[in-house]
Structure 1
Amino acid sequence: MAHDRGAFALLRDKTPFPTKQLTILALCRICEPIAFMSIFPYAYKMVESFGIAHSEAQISVYMGMVTSAFAFAECASGVFWGRLSDRIGRKRVLLGGLFGTGLSMLLFGFATNLPTALIARALGGLLNGNIGVLQTTVAELVTVEEHQPRAYSIMPFVWCLGTIIGSTLGGVLADPATSFPSVFQGTIFDSFPYLLSNLVCTAVVVFGLITGILFLEETHEDKKLERDRGIEIGRWILNKVRRHPSYAPLTDKDGSLDEMRSMLDNHGPRVYRSIYSSPTLCSSRTSIAEPPDFSLEKGCQPKPKVREAFTKQVLLNIVGYGILAFHTISLEQLIPTLMSRPDEPADSAQLPFKFTGGFKWSPKDIGTILAVQGVLQMCAQLIVFPWISKKLGSLRTFWLTIALYPFMYLGAPYLVLLPKQYRIPGIMVLLIWKVTAQSLSYPSLAMMLANAAPSKKVLGTLNGTAASSASICRGFGPTVSGSVDAFGYAHGFSGLGWWTCAAIAASAWIPGFFMKEERRRPGFRGVEDEEVGLIEALADSDADSVITLTTNEAVLSK
C-alpha cells in the first residue's frame, strides 16, 4: 500500500509546470502595461495642450479624470467579461480585450480635446476585462497547488516589466516633431504630437494579439477540446520553420491525461471509466452504439448558480481586493507628491503631527527613483514571493502584509524630517517595503480566490467581480486620498493623507481575520490531481478495482 501511495505521489510530482503556455500568456499580458503606462509621461502636457485648464490645479484635475476613466469603465464591464469567459471560453475574451486595448490606444493618439481622450480611455476600460480573465486562465493552467506561488508571480512580474517599457516609450516618442525635428517636423506627427507613441504601442498590442491567436490554448474545461484553427495555423507555421515532417504540439501537458483524452477521442474507440460497479455517464447522447466521452471526473459537475458561487470566503476575498486596491493606488500618488513638494525647515514643525514639507526633487530624480522601484518589484515578485508563500502559505502571507501595511503609512510622512543625507536611504526603505508588500499581497489573494472557487465554471465570474471591485476602488482612491492630502497640507498636516490610508489599510484586518485558506475543491483541481486523488481513495479503501493509466490508454481492470 505504501508503495502504491509513493507511486501516486511521484505521478503528482511529475506534473510539468506549464512553462510554454504561461510564456505565451505573458507575451499577451505585457502588451497591456506597455500601452497603459505609456500615457503617463506625457499626460500632463497633453491635457495642457487642450487649452481648457487655466491653472496647474485644473490640469491635475483633468489628468486625474483621464486616468480614472479607464478604471471606472473597467469596473462597469469587469463582471460581464468574466461571466462571458465562463460561457465562450477564456481565449476569445482575452483576445477581445487585446483588440479593445489597441483600438483605445489608436483613438487616444488622435485625441486633440478632452472629450476624445476621455472616450478613448473609457473605451479601453469597457472593452478590456483581461485582469480577471487572466487570473482565471492562470488558475486553470496550474493544476498542481505546489506550482501556484511560482505561477502567480509571473504575471505581476510581467506587469512591472511592461510599466518600465511603457513609460520609456511614452517619454521618448511623445511629441517627436519637437524632439526630432529633422525627421518628423511637417508630418502628421506635428499635428498629432502623441500619435507616434500610441502607434508603437498599438503595434505591440497587435503582436500580442497575433501571438495569442496562433499559440495560446484554451483552458476552459468545456471549450478546450474544441477545434482551434488558430492553434492549427500556429503549428503549421512552426512545422514550416522547423522544416520537420511532423510537428510537436505546443502544449505543456505532454504525457498528461488531457493529451491522452484527445488521442483517444481522435484515434481510437471511446471508453468510459467505471467506479466500483457502474459507469459514470455524462453525455446526453450516450447510447450503446455511441459510448460516452472518455472522462476522468467523478461524474458531471453542474455549473453552480451565481448565488452559490459567491461563498463567504469568496466575498471576503473580493472585499480584500477592494481595500488593497484603494490604498495601494493612493500610495502610487502620495509618493511622487512627497518627493515633489518644496523642502521646509524642520524647526517649523510642531511634532508629533503638525509639519509640512517634501524632498523638492526634480522630475528626472523622481523618474529615476520610480524606475528603481520597478526593478525592485520585479525582484520581489520572482524571488521573495515564491519563497515566502511556500514557507507560510497564501493566507499567512496575506496576513503578514495587511498587518504591516498601516505602520508603513504611519511612518512615511516623517521622512521629510530626516536630514538630507538620510532621505535617499529612507525613501529606499519605504520603496522596498512597498514593493515587497504589493508583491506578496496581490498574488496571495489571487491564489486564495482560485482555491475558494466552488467550480471552474464560475471562476471567470468571480475573478471578474474581484477585478471590478479593485477597479472602482482604484478610481476613487487617488481622488479621495489626493483631496485629503491637499486639505491636510493646507492646514499644516502633510501626513493626513498618509494616515487616512493607514486607517483604510487597517480596515483590511476585519475581513482578513475571517479568511481561511482552502484547498482546491474536487471539482476544480486538474485532471492529474483528480485521478491521483481517486486512485489514492481506492487504495485506502482496499477496493478491488484499480485504474491503470498509461500515456496511450486507460483500462479498467479487476
Structure 2
Amino acid sequence: MLVLAICRICEPIAFMGIFPYVYFMIEDFHVTDDASRISFYAGMVTSAFTFAEFSTGLLWGRLSDKIGRKPVLLTGLAGTALSVLVFGFAPNLTVALLARAIGGLLNGNMGVLSSTVTELVTAKEHQPRAYTIMPVVWCLGSIIGPMIGGALARPCISYPSIFSPGTIWERYPYLLPNLFSALIVLVGVINGFLFLEETHAQKKMQRDRGLELGNWILSKFTGFGKCAESRDEKSKFSDREDEIQPLIDHDEQLPTYRTNENTPANSPRLRSASVPTLPQDSLDLTQSKAHMGVSISKTFTRPVVLNIISFGILAFHTMTFDQLLPVFLATAPPKDHVDTSLPLKFVGGFNLDSKTVGIILSIQGVYQLLINMFLVPKVLKHFGALRSFRFIAIAYFMLYLVTPYLVLLPPAYRMVGLAVVLAWKCTFQTIVYPSNAILTADNAPSRLALGTINGVAASTASLCRAFGPTISGILYSVGLKTGYSGLAWWSTALVAIGGAVVGLMIPDSATRPSSHDDQIATPDDDVEVAQPSRA
C-alpha cells in the first residue's frame, strides 16, 4: 500500500496544480475580452482531461484484467508526465486542451487503482481503514499541487529578482509548476517499476524484472527487506518444500492394506474427500476461466449498475464544486452597477490572486488529510458504508445552495464563512467516496471482474466530470451576465438531489440474496474431508 500510495500521490499534484492559475492562464491566452467567459474556457481545460479519460477508461480497465494492474498503472503515470510537460509549454488554448487530452487518453488509473486496493485488502474489517488510504494520499497531493501551482506560476512576476524578464520563464509563465509536477510523476514511475507488486490473480505469478531489480537495490542497504518474492524465488521455495515432504503421509495406509469397502468408489465419505484441494493460484485460474464465461448481465448486476450511476452523479457535482471554487474566488466584483434583488439576484466574487487561491486550496487539503486519518475510518466502521453514503447523498445538495451566498457576508466574515463551507465540503467528500468504493467492491459478483467494473465506473465518472466543469462554466458565465451568480451552484444542487434518489435505491449487500450463478464454487465447497481411521 505504501508503494501504491507513492504512485498515487503524483496524479493529484499534477491534476490539482493547475487550479490556482488556470483562470489567469486563460487571461494570458487572450481568447476573450469578456471576463465573464473566462470561466467557460477554464471549464473546457478541466473537461478536456476527463472527456479523454472517459473515452479510454473502459479500455484500460479491461486491459488491466488481461495484462495485469502494474503495467497499466505505470503507463498512466507516464502519460501524466507527458501531459504536464506539454501543458507547461502551451502557447495557446488549443495546445493546452491537447495536452490535457493526452493525459486523459493515456491515464486509466482511477479504476485500476480501485481494483488494486480491492485485491490487496480482502478482509471486511480492514476495509474502512484501507479505503481511506488512497483518499489520504489524494489529500496530500491536493495540498502540494495547488501550493506549488500557485507559488511557481508566472515566476517572472512573483519572483523578478530570481527569474528575470526575457527568459524562457516569461515566454512560458506556467512551465515551472509543470516541470515540478513532471519530476514528481517521474519519481512515481521509477518507484512503481522497482517496488510495485502485481496484484492480479493470474499475472502476479509472472516474472517481474523490475521487482527483481528493486529487490537487488534494497539488498544493498541494510535494514531493508524485499518488496516481494519474484516468481523464480517462489518456485525455488516451492521446490525446496517438495524435497523435504515425505512421499507417503504418515497417516496414509499402504495400498496393500486397503480394502475395497474403504475405496473412494464404494464410500461416499471418502469419495467426497478424494477431491483434491487446489492451491490458491490454481483456484484463481479456475475462477478466471469461470468468470470469462460469465455474461455482461451477470457482471453488471442491478446493485453494480446503481453504484456506477451514483458514482457518476457524485463525480459530476463534486468536480463542479472543485472547478467553480477557484473561479469563484478569483472573480472580481462587477465594475458596472448590477441590480440586486435578494434572495436570488446578486453578483460577486472574492477577487483573490493565484497565490491566495493556492494557499486556500492547500489548507483545504490539510483538513481533508486530518479527517481522512482520524474521522472517516471511525464513521465507516460505526455506521457502515451504505448508511454513510445514503446520509451524505441526501444532504449534499444543501452545500451548493449555501455557497454562492458567501459573497453577501460582511468582508470581515467572508473568510470564516468560506472556511465553514470548505470544511463541510471536505467532510462530505472524504466520507462518500470510500463508501461508494466499498459498496462497489462488496456488490461485485467476482473479484476477477473488478478491472472491468471499475473501468466502466471510471469512464462514467470521467464523462460526468467532463460535462460538470463545462456546463457549470457556461452557467456561471450566464449567471454573471444576468445577475444570478448562484445559477451554476443551484443547478448543481438539483444534480445532487438526483444522486440522492439513486443512492436510496442501492440495496444492502449484507442482506441481498446471492445468486447461485454469481458465485464461483471452490473445491472446498460442500466437501467433507475424511480423517484417516486408525482402527
TM-score by length of 2: 0.82
* 1:393 pairs with one of 380, 384, 391: 384
Deviations 1:467-504 (A, max 9, x none): 11111111111222233344344444333332222211
**Which range is displaced more, 386-395 or 107-116?**
107-116
Q: Secondary structure at the match of 1:342?
A: coil
Q: CA deviation at 1:47?
A: 3.5
* 2:138 pairs with one of 159, 171, 182: 159
Q: What does 1:85-234 correspond to in 2, within 5 Å? A: 85-178=64-157, 179-180=159-160, 182=162, 187-234=167-214
Q: Distance between the aligned counterparts of 1:328 and 1:171, measured in 2?
A: 22
Q: Distance between the aligned counterparts of 1:298 and 1:458, measured in 2?
A: 13
CA separation of 1:104 and 1:300: change in aligned 2, threshold 3 A: closer
CA separation of 1:41 and 1:408: change in aligned 2, threshold 3 A: closer
Q: Is the 8 A contact 1:31 1:205 kept in 2?
A: yes
Structure 1 residue 511 corresponds to structure 2 residue 502: yes
Q: What does 1:263-282 correspond to in 2, within 5 Å? A: 265-269=238-242, 276-280=272-276
Q: Is the 8 A contact 2:18 2:146 kept in 1?
A: yes
Q: Distance between the aligned counterparts of 1:104 and 1:337, measured in 2?
A: 23
Q: Which amino acid aligns with 1:207?
A: V
Q: Distance between the aligned counterparts of 1:465 and 1:126, measured in 2?
A: 15
Q: Secondary structure at the match of 1:112?
A: coil
Q: Which amino acid aligns with 1:53?
A: T
Q: CA deviation at 1:82?
A: 0.4
Q: Distance between the aligned counterparts of 1:411 and 1:136, measured in 2?
A: 36
Q: Distance between the aligned counterparts of 1:57 and 1:117, measured in 2?
A: 20
Structure 2 residue aligned with 1:3: none
Q: Which amino acid aligns with 2:197?
A: E
Larger relative CO (CA 8 A, sep 6+): 1 or 2? 2
Gaps of 5+ in 1: 1-21, 283-291, 524-529, 547-555
* 1:305 pairs with one of 256, 281, 295: 295
Structure 2 residue aligned with 1:438: 429
Structure 1 residue aligned with 2:449: 458
CA separation of 1:447 and 1:557: change in aligned 2, threshold 3 A: farther
CA separation of 1:360 and 1:38: change in aligned 2, threshold 3 A: closer
Q: CA deviation at 1:248?
A: 3.9
CA separation of 1:175 and 1:341: change in aligned 2, threshold 3 A: closer
Q: Distance between the aligned counterparts of 1:293 and 1:265, measured in 2?
A: 13
Q: Which amino acid aligns with 2:509?
A: E
Q: Distance between the aligned counterparts of 1:387 and 1:262, measured in 2?
A: 41
Q: CA deviation at 1:427?
A: 2.3
Structure 2 residue aligned with 1:250: 227
Q: CA deviation at 1:332?
A: 2.2
Q: CA deviation at 1:410?
A: 2.5
* 1:423 pairs with one of 414, 417, 422: 414
Q: Distance between the aligned counterparts of 1:459 and 1:86, measured in 2?
A: 8
Structure 2 residue aligned with 1:239: 219
Q: Distance between the aligned counterparts of 2:383 and 2:55, measured in 1?
A: 35
Q: Distance between the aligned counterparts of 2:163 and 2:469, measured in 1?
A: 39
Structure 1 residue 34 corresponds to structure 2 residue 5: no
Structure 1 residue 25 corresponds to structure 2 residue 25: no
CA separation of 1:45 and 1:417: change in aligned 2, threshold 3 A: closer
Structure 1 residue aligned with 2:487: 496
Percentage identity across paired residues of the two chains? 48
* 2:462 pairs with one of 464, 468, 471: 471
CA separation of 1:397 and 1:216: change in aligned 2, threshold 3 A: same
CA separation of 1:106 and 1:417: change in aligned 2, threshold 3 A: closer
CA separation of 1:426 and 1:167: change in aligned 2, threshold 3 A: closer
Q: Distance between the aligned counterparts of 2:404 and 2:163, measured in 1?
A: 46
Deviations 1:342-391 (A, max 9, x none): 399xxx75444444445555555544433322111112222221110000
Q: Which amino acid aligns with 1:138?
A: V
Deviations 1:56-75 (A, max 9, x none): 34544333322211110001
Q: What does 1:39-54 correspond to in 2, within 5 Å? A: 39-54=18-33
Q: Is the 8 A contact 2:201 2:284 kept in 1?
A: no
Q: Is the 8 A contact 2:43 2:473 kept in 1?
A: no
Q: Is the 8 A contact 1:281 1:299 kept in 2?
A: no
Q: Secondary structure at the match of 2:111?
A: helix
CA separation of 1:369 and 1:458: change in aligned 2, threshold 3 A: same
Q: How many residues align?
A: 495
TM-score by length of 1: 0.79
Q: Distance between the aligned counterparts of 1:116 and 1:366, measured in 2?
A: 25
**Which range is displaced more, 162-171 or 408-417?**
408-417
Q: CA deviation at 1:145?
A: 1.1
CA separation of 1:386 and 1:522: change in aligned 2, threshold 3 A: farther
Structure 1 residue aligned with 2:367: 376
Q: Is the 8 A contact 2:27 2:38 kept in 1?
A: yes
Q: Secondary structure at the match of 1:507?
A: helix
Deviations 1:239-298 (A, max 9, x none): 1122x8xx84324x9xxxx99986764434499xx994233587xxxxxxxxx8865679
Q: Which amino acid aligns with 1:446?
A: A
Q: CA deviation at 1:225?
A: 1.3
Q: Secondary structure at the match of 2:484?
A: coil
CA separation of 1:206 and 1:354: change in aligned 2, threshold 3 A: closer
Q: Secondary structure at the match of 1:472?
A: helix
**Which range is displaced more, 356-365 or 221-230?**
356-365
Q: Is the 8 A contact 1:225 1:262 kept in 2?
A: no
Q: CA deviation at 1:164?
A: 1.9
Q: Secondary structure at the match of 1:508?
A: helix
* 2:325 pairs with one of 327, 335, 338: 335
Q: CA deviation at 1:299?
A: 5.7
CA separation of 1:441 and 1:45: change in aligned 2, threshold 3 A: same
Q: Is the 8 A contact 2:389 2:435 kept in 1?
A: yes
Q: Is the 8 A contact 1:89 1:218 kept in 2?
A: yes
CA separation of 1:413 and 1:229: change in aligned 2, threshold 3 A: same
**Cα-Cα RMSD:** 3.6
CA separation of 1:481 and 1:173: change in aligned 2, threshold 3 A: closer
CA separation of 1:158 and 1:186: change in aligned 2, threshold 3 A: same
Q: Secondary structure at the match of 1:41?
A: coil
CA separation of 1:204 and 1:275: change in aligned 2, threshold 3 A: farther
Structure 2 residue aligned with 1:403: 394
Q: Distance between the aligned counterparts of 1:420 and 1:189, measured in 2?
A: 36
Q: Which amino acid aligns with 1:63?
A: A
Q: Distance between the aligned counterparts of 1:40 and 1:360, measured in 2?
A: 15
